[in-house]
Structure 1
Amino acid sequence: MTALALLLTVAGLLYLMCAVLDLRLALALFCTLLPTYLLRFALPLPFGPLDALPSTLLEVFFWILFLTWLLVGRQPRKKPKVTAAKNMTNDHDLRRWMPGLVLLLLGASVGVLIAPNLISALGIWRAYFLEPILFFFLFADLVRDARTRRMVLGTLGLTLAAVGTVAIVQKLTGWWIPNPVWRDEATRRVTGFYGFPNGIGLMAAPVTVLMAAWTADLARKVRRGRNLTWPLLAGASALLGLAAILFAVSEGAALGVAVGLLTYGLLSRPLRKYALIGLIAACALTLAYAPLRNYASLMLSMRDDSWQVRQTVWSESLDMIADRPVFGAGLSGYPDALTTYHLARHIEIFQYPHSLLLNFWTETGLIGLAGFLALLWSFFVSVGSTFRRRPDEWLPQALLAAMVALLVHGLVDVPYFRNDLAFLFWILIGLAASLRLSTVTTKKKRLKSE
C-alpha cells in the first residue's frame, strides 16, 4: 500500500467514524474539507471501459457522508423510524426548489450526451451537479436548527481563515506561488491552495460577506452581555478573507464583497444609516482622490486589459452560442466548440467564458440555464419570505448579501464550475431552505400551542 493510499484510507475511516457518531458534526466538518478537492487520484476499477475512476478526496468524504445519512437517516422523535430519503418526501416546502433543481440536472444530463468527450463530461456531471444536488437534500434534512447552522457557519469561517492565513504567508514570503510573475515581489499575487489568484476570490467572496455579517450580529449581542470570543473569531475570519482577496488582486471578488456588504448594510435596520454614510463617504473619496477616480474611470469605461480580454471572450462565446442556442456546447465542450469562432489569436481559449450565465448556457444549454435562474428565483423568494417573517434575524439578510456577492463576481468569472464552489453554492441554497423550514416549523408549533 502506497503512502497516499494509506493516507486516504485513514482519513476515510476517521470521517466514517465521525459520520456514524454524529452526522451533523460530520456535515459541518465537510464544509471545512472543501479544499480537499485538490487532492486528486484514480480509484482502480475491476471492470468496465475504464481502468480507474478519477476522483478527489472531497468526493470520498461526500460519499461517506451521503451513504451514512441515507442508511442511518434522520430519526424524528415520536414517529416511526424511517430512512432519511423517506423523510425528505414529507417536506412540502422543499418542493419550491424542485423545478430549478430538475431543470438544472436535466440540462447537465443533456450536456453529457452532446459533449465531445463523454468521460470528461461524466466527471463534470458527477462532481458539479449530481453530488452537490444530493448534498442539498442531505443538508436540508440535517440542518434544521440554529445550533447546526452555527456549526456550518463556523466551519466555513475556519476554511476562510485557513485560506487567508496561507495568503498572508505567501504575500510576505512568495512561497508556493507557482507563476514567477505572480511570485515577484513587485507584482505579487497570492494563490492560496488553488494555484492561481482568482481561485481565492471565487471561494472567499461569499464566505467573507457571511462572516462579516455574522460578526456584526455577534457584536450587537456582546453589548447585551454576551461572550466576546465568537465575534472576535468571526471578525478575524472575515478580515483574513478580505486580506486574501486583496493580496490576490481579485478585482471581481473585491467588487462582489463590496456590493454584498453594502446589501447587508442596507437590509439591516441597525446598520442602514452606517451603510449609507459609508457609501456616501466612498463616493466622495473616489471623486476627491485622483488615483481612485482614475481607477474607477478605467473600470467603468472597460478600457482595462482584463476587461478587453473578457469582452473578446464574451463576444466569441455569443457567436458560438448563436449557432447552438438550445443545447450549447455540452459539458466540457466549450474549448472545442469555440475553436471555429476564435479570431483573437493573441488570447488563449479558456476553459470557460468568464461569465456565470454564459457558462451555464454553453455547458448545460437553455434547459440548465433556466434551471439555474429558477433556483435563484426560489432562493430570493424563500429568503425574502423568511426575512419578512423574522425581520430581526440576521441570517436571511446575510444569505441575500452573500448570494449578491457571488452573482456580482459571476459577472466576470465563474463561481460555480469547480468542485468546492459547486458545494458552496448549494450550501447557500441549503441554508436558505433550512431557514424557511425552521420558520414554518416554528409557526406550526405556535399555532398548535394556541
Structure 2
Amino acid sequence: MLKEKTIIQICIAVSVLFLPFAHLKVIILGIPLYSVEIPIVTALVVYLYGWWRGAFAPSTRIDVRNLLVLGAGLFFFGAALSFSLNPFSWTGLGMIKTWFVIPLIAVWLWLETKPDKREIELIVFVWLCVIGVVSLMSLGYLLQDILTFDGRLRAWYSSPNYLAFFVAPGIFFTHYFAFHPSVSGKKILQGFLLLTLLLLTMTLFLTHSYAVWASIAIAGCIFFFLDRAVFSWKKKGAIIFLFIAIVGIFIFFESGSEKWQAVSSLQERSSLSSRLMIWDVATKIISFHPLFGIGIGRFQEAYLSFQPYFPPYLEWAVPQPHNLYLALWLETGLVGLSGFVLLCTMWLKRLFTIQKSQSEDVSRRRLSALFISILSFSLLLGLIDTPFFKTDLAFIFWLLIALGTSLTEKQNNIE
C-alpha cells in the first residue's frame, strides 16, 4: 500500500499534468474547483489522514521568523486585505482561493513530504513532458491554419504571449536534462530531448512573442553561467554564442512581419504604444489607491472608470496592466507587493547559497541554477506582462517556490 507521502507527491504530479487544462472546473457543493486544484484537495485529505495516524506533524514549517514564510504570508495577507477593503465580488474571492489558498496548501504539502533531489527532478521531468505535449498539440493548430488575425500561434490559450510563457520553461528543462548523468549515453532520451527542444523552439517562434524571447535570452545566459555541467568558459561561451545566433535567426525571419514593423516604427496602435497607455492608466489608479490597491480581479473595471482622465484608449478589454509589479501593487496593495519582493528575494538568496557552497554536489547546484533561471525569466517578463494572474500561471509560480524551497530544506535555518 502506498504511503501518504508518496500519494501526496503523486497528487502534486497529477496537478502538473493537468496544467494545460487548468481552465476546466467542476462545481462541488457549490464551490468551483479547477482541474489543478482537485488533486491538491485530495492530497490535503490524505495528509490529514496521515496526521491522524501520526505520520505528519502540522505547523512545523510555519514560522514567521523565517523570512521566506513571512514573505509568502504578507503576499497572501496583502491580497486578502485589499480584497476585504474594496467592493465584494465572488469572482475576486475565487481568485484568492485559486491563486493563493490552494497553491499555498500545495507548497506546504510538498514540503511536508520532505522530498529528495530525485523526487524534485521527477516533478521537473513531468513538467517538461507536459510542456512538450502542449507544444505538439499547439503545432496541430498551425496545420489547421488556426492562428490569430496577425498570423500568430496561440492554440487554445487566450493569447500567443500566454502560450509562449507556458512553453518557455521547457527550454531550460531540456538543457538541464541534456547534461544529466542519467541521460549520458542513452540515445532514446537524448533523441526525446532534442525533439522536444525543436518542438518548443518552433512553438515559441510561431507565437512571435518578443518579450518572451528576450526574457529567455537573458535568463538563459544566467543559467549557462551558473550551470556547473558546462563549467569551462570556452564551452559556456560557445553555447551563449549559439544561443545569440538562434535569437539572431529569429529576428532575421521576423523582421518582415507586420508585428515587427509596428514595433520598430512605433506605430500609434502598436502593442508597445498600447502598453504605454495602459501603464499610464495603472499608475494613475495607483495614485488614487496607493496603500491597499483596488482589490484582486478589479483592474478591468478600474481601467474603464479612469478613461475620462485620458484620450480614447487604444485597447479597451484589459484585464491586467501588462506589468507584474503594477498588477501586484494594484491587486494586493503595498503589503502584498512587499511580501512578493521579500519572498522572491529570500528564495533567491537561499538558492544562491547553494551555488556558492563548495560542499554542495554538482547536481544540487545545477537544480538551483535551473530554478534561479526560471524565476529570473518570470521576473524579467513581468516588466512587460503579468505572468501570474491565471490559474495555471499562479500554480506554476508557487510550484517553482515549492521545488526551490525543498532543495534548500537542509539549510532550513532562520534567515
Settle same-fold status: TM greater than 0.5. yes
- The equivalent of 1:323 in structure 2 is 288
Q: Equivalent residue of 2:385, what SS?
A: coil
- The equivalent of 1:39 in structure 2 is 24
- Does the 8 Å CA contact 2:47/2:109 hold for their aligned counterparts? yes
Q: Give the alignment of 1:297-336 within 5 angstroms.
A: 303=266, 305-336=270-301
Q: Structure 2 length normalisation: TM-score?
A: 0.85
Q: Give the alignment of 1:168-183 within 5 angstroms.
A: 168-175=139-146, 181=149
- Does the 8 Å CA contact 1:157/1:234 hold for their aligned counterparts? no
**Residue 208 of structure 1: CA displacement?**
1.8
Q: Which protein shows a greater Rg?
A: 1
- The equivalent of 1:413 in structure 2 is 385
Distance 1:121 1:290, change over 3 A: closer
Give the aligned residue type for 2:16.
C
Give the aligned residue type for 1:213.
H
- The equivalent of 1:429 in structure 2 is 401
Distance 1:336 1:285, change over 3 A: closer
Considering Cα pairs closer than 8 Å and 6+ residues apart, tell me whether 1 or 2 has the greater RCO. Answer: 2
- The equivalent of 2:326 in structure 1 is 358
**Residue 345 of structure 1: CA displacement?**
2.7
Distance 1:145 1:285, change over 3 A: closer
Q: Equivalent residue of 1:257, what SS?
A: helix
- The equivalent of 1:239 in structure 2 is 198
- The equivalent of 1:9 in structure 2 is none
Q: Equivalent residue of 2:31, what SS?
A: strand
Q: How many residues align?
A: 398
1:158 to 120, 129, 152: 129
**Residue 99 of structure 1: CA displacement?**
1.3
- Does the 8 Å CA contact 1:317/1:338 hold for their aligned counterparts? yes
CA distance in 2, matches of 1:353, 1:237: 33
2:138 to 164, 167, 171: 167
- The equivalent of 1:375 in structure 2 is 343
- Does the 8 Å CA contact 1:133/1:426 hold for their aligned counterparts? yes
Please say if 1:29 is aligned against 2:2: no
Q: Equivalent residue of 2:293, what SS?
A: coil
**Deviates most, 63-72 or 227-236:** 227-236
CA distance in 2, matches of 1:430, 1:193: 28
CA distance in 1, matches of 2:81, 2:289: 13
**Residue 267 of structure 1: CA displacement?**
1.6
CA distance in 2, matches of 1:400, 1:299: 33
**Residue 233 of structure 1: CA displacement?**
3.2
Please say if 1:273 is aligned against 2:234: yes
Q: Structure 1 length normalisation: TM-score?
A: 0.79
- Does the 8 Å CA contact 1:42/1:53 hold for their aligned counterparts? yes
Distance 1:381 1:132, change over 3 A: same
2:45 to 67, 71, 74: 67
Q: Give the alignment of 1:123-272 within 5 angstroms.
A: 123-175=94-146, 181=149, 187-205=150-168, 207-218=169-180, 226-269=185-228, 270=230, 272=233
**Residue 111 of structure 1: CA displacement?**
1.9
- Does the 8 Å CA contact 1:212/1:238 hold for their aligned counterparts? yes
Q: Equivalent residue of 2:378, what SS?
A: helix
- The equivalent of 1:112 in structure 2 is 83
**Deviates most, 354-363 or 293-302:** 293-302
Give the gaps of 5 or more residues in structure 1: 1-16, 46-51, 76-80, 182-186, 442-450
Q: Equivalent residue of 1:54, what SS?
A: strand
Structure 1 residues 397-438: Cα deviation after superposition (integer angstroms, max 9, x where no partner): 111111111112111111111111111111111111111114
Distance 1:301 1:150, change over 3 A: same
CA distance in 1, matches of 2:52, 2:225: 38
- Does the 8 Å CA contact 1:211/1:237 hold for their aligned counterparts? no
**Residue 297 of structure 1: CA displacement?**
10
- Does the 8 Å CA contact 1:211/1:238 hold for their aligned counterparts? no
CA distance in 2, matches of 1:31, 1:18: 20
- Does the 8 Å CA contact 1:167/1:191 hold for their aligned counterparts? yes
Select the structure that is richer in helix: 1
**Residue 58 of structure 1: CA displacement?**
2.2
